Chains A and B, each alone.
Chain A
Amino acid sequence: DSGVTQTPKHLITATGQRVTLRCSPRSGDLSVYWYQQSLDQGLQFLIQYYNGEERAKGNILERFSAQQFPDLHSELNLSSLELGDSALYFCASSAEGGATEAFFGQGTRLTVV
């Protein structure tokens, strides 16, 4: 158990809909990262938050947004869903620092039908 909790584990929704994925980081970790894993794109970094503030942005679509709350949990919002958004979405957390590793949650498998 990595200590990072993601909910839900599975999500099936229709095209055009909006979903929210939730992540609770390890106790004490201030950084939260979101990654998308798909068959064609591999593991792609989406966005990073540090202590409530956006720190870095990767290949995140405009239809996607995220935030980190004062209790440090994070949510990833995906809207106007398309079939191609079907993927495994991972959250990771880390303490700040150069050598500290990131710990990953089990992921949320999103299927858009």
Chain B
Amino acid sequence: DQQVKQNSPSLSVQEGRISILNCDYTNSMFDYFLWYKKYPAEGPTFLISISSIKDKNEDGRFTVFLNKSAKHLSLHIVPSQPGDSAVYFCAAIEFGNEKLTFGTGTRLTIIP
């Protein structure tokens, strides 16, 4: 039972344009959501997070949007840069559960 889903395994975007990565979840008890970025042969690195009581969080070129009624999370990257090419994982946690649940990942390729 995949509680966190990333339905697009890959996405290609032109450099300078906006990249939008999507994530859907089924567990309404999730309290906190995160996005991680992963380069080949490296571990994931934390990118940005959002609490379930907010609908938007921004950090530089990265913005995460949360739509609780739709159980949908998205990551916007603008403008997209070649260094953004990586696999992006969304993740969610229910506080008190101590377990982070990851999506399956989306491979983002930025085309120069």
The judgment on whether A and B are partners is no
